């Protein structure tokens, strides 16, 4: 978040407060995805107001609960994407699927306070054998459920059943090329056919049943090898049955810089960052909020301040029976880590290489295409 954006958010506080008090709802955009959370409990409304105050103060022990959570369903993947630590073998954690009981424990404690829960991390979430059960657990809470996938398992009957029984708000499908040749430059090992078959099956099911969810969202990362395909993206997505598409910029994650250089688009309009002498230009107006409002629960139960800490080098601790989320979130260790992130972020490698810090805006996406009318929010 830019310092300017933080003040703009605070300037909207009266309108947000009115929506909360009078209507029990909150409308916002999440990486260019429209979200409307309705039917918010008194506790959820109060938490949003507390978190708004903490947006300014960034207390080492936040006043409220998180507004957003990332939950890593698996720490393994069938692809070998060149800048993903799972794809390059730099993920030093064991290959695991998250324990369903852990998801239930987490949601029972924080679910009523959340605006969003993102059900992915550094692995492929559709590989989780109990995906349907996890979607059922999260469906009990009025937050937006976001599920992102490389699409390789999307036509599997087990996955189709799970997505129809308990549809997430958004199903985000990564398509980084409009043919196998371009898509597999980045999504190494991927094929478009299972992805497209799965999307079309869900689109047809929605048409035949009148279901509004999941919103089928194509996410296209603009890179040097695929930027020439952007003019054809709207028609490609319409033909496949997607409801919307976003064009996303390539993030620099905590991996060697030379892995990104060949992928940076030629068009400056499609770049996440400005460059000077072939080096990413640094900004000084970034204000980190992840550690204060948006933690990540990894597949092995460790809680970290941000998903970029992919090897859990600065974990708050481990969520497990007998250890609550509150124990970790409000611990002295968590406070110490937040203090470092706020005052001396260069001490942590995942902060030094933060993908959000040097962007002109907080959103990683730069263009949104609504291909079908009436994209609903939560509760519609």
What's the pLDDT score for residue 255? 67
Indicate the average pLDDT of the chain.
Answer: 91
**Residue 342: exposed, middle, or buried by beta-carbon count in 10 A (0-12, 13-18, 19+)?**
middle
User: What is the spatial distance between Cα 315 and Cα 302, in angstroms, rounded to a whole number?
Assistant: 6
User: What is the spatial distance between Cα 167 and Cα 99, in angstroms, rounded to a whole number?
Assistant: 20
Q: Which residues, in sequence order, are CB contacts of 231 under 8 Å at separation 6+? A: none
What's the pLDDT score for residue 54? 81
CA 8 to chain centroid, in Å, comes to 22
DSSP string, 251-279: P--SS-THHHHTTS-SSGGG-SS-EETTE
Question: Rounded to 5 degrees, what are φ and ψ at 119?
Answer: -95, 65
Handedness of CA 313, 186, 31, 198 (dihedral sign): negative
Give 231's DSSP letter.
G
Q: Do residues 197 and 154 make contact, with C-beta atoms less than 8 angstroms apart?
A: yes
With a cut of 70, list the residues of the chain below it in pLDDT.
Answer: 1-23, 254-257, 374-380
pTM above 0.85, yes or no: yes
pLDDT tens for 321-341 read 999 999 999 999 999 999 999
Cβ contacts of 17-22, under 8 Å, gap ≥ 24 = 17/49, 20/45, 20/48, 20/49, 21/45
Q: Which residues, in sequence order, are CB contacts of 117 under 8 Å at separation 6+? A: 68, 69, 70, 71, 107, 111, 138, 141, 143, 144, 145, 146
Picking from 68, 20, 116, the residue whose alpha carbon sits closest to that of residue 289 is 68
The domains of the chain, with CATH numbers, are 66-370 (3.20.20.70)
User: What is the spatial distance between Cα 297 and Cα 120, in angstroms, rounded to a whole number?
Assistant: 10
**Residue 353: exposed, middle, or buried by beta-carbon count in 10 A (0-12, 13-18, 19+)?**
middle
């Amino acid at each position: 978040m830019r310092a300017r954006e933080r003040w703009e958010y605070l300037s909207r506080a009266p309108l947000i407060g009115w929506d909360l008090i009078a209507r029990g709802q909150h409308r916002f955009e999440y990486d260019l995805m429209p979200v409307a959370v309705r039917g918010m409990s008194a506790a959820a409304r109060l938490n949003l107001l507390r978190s708004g105050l903490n947006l300014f103060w960034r207390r080492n022990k936040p006043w409220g609960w998180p507004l957003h959570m990332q939950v890593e369903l698996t720490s393994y993947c069938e692809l070998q994407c060149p800048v993903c630590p799972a794809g390059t073998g730099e993920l030093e954690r064991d290959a695991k699927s998250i324990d369903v009981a852990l998801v239930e424990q987490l949601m029972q404690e924080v679910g009523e306070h959340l605006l969003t829960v993102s059900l992915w991390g550094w692995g492929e979430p559709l590989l989780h054998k109990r995906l349907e059960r996890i979607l059922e657990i999260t469906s009990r809470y009025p937050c937006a459920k976001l599920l992102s996938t490389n699409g390789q398992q999307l036509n599997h009957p087990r996955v189709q059943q799970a997505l129809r029984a308990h549809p997430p708000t958004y199903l985000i499908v990564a398509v980084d090329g409009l043919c196998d040749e371009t898509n597999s430059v980045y999504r190494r090992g991927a094929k478009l056919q299972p992805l497209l078959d799965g999307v079309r099956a869900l689109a047809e099911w929605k048409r035949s049943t009148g279901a509004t969810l999941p919103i089928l969202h194509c996410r296209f990362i603009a890179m040097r090898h695929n930027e020439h395909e952007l003019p054809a993206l709207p028609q490609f997505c319409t033909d496949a049955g997607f409801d919307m598409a976003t064009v996303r910029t390539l993030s620099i994650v905590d991996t060697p810089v030379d892995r990104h250089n060949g992928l940076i688009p030629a068009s400056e309009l499609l770049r996440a960052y400005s460059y000077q002498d072939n080096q990413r230009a640094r900004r000084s107006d970034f204000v980190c909020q992840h550690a204060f409002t948006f933690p990540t629960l990894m597949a092995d139960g460790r809680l970290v301040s941000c998903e970029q800490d992919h090897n859990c080098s600065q974990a708050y601790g481990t969520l497990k029976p007998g250890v609550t989320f509150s124990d970790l979130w409000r611990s002295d260790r968590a406070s110490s880590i937040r203090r470092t992130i706020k005052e001396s972020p260069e001490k942590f490698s995942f902060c030094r290489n933060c993908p959000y810090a040097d962007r002109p805006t907080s959103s990683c996406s730069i263009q949104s295409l609504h291909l079908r009318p009436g994209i609903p929010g939560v509760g519609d």
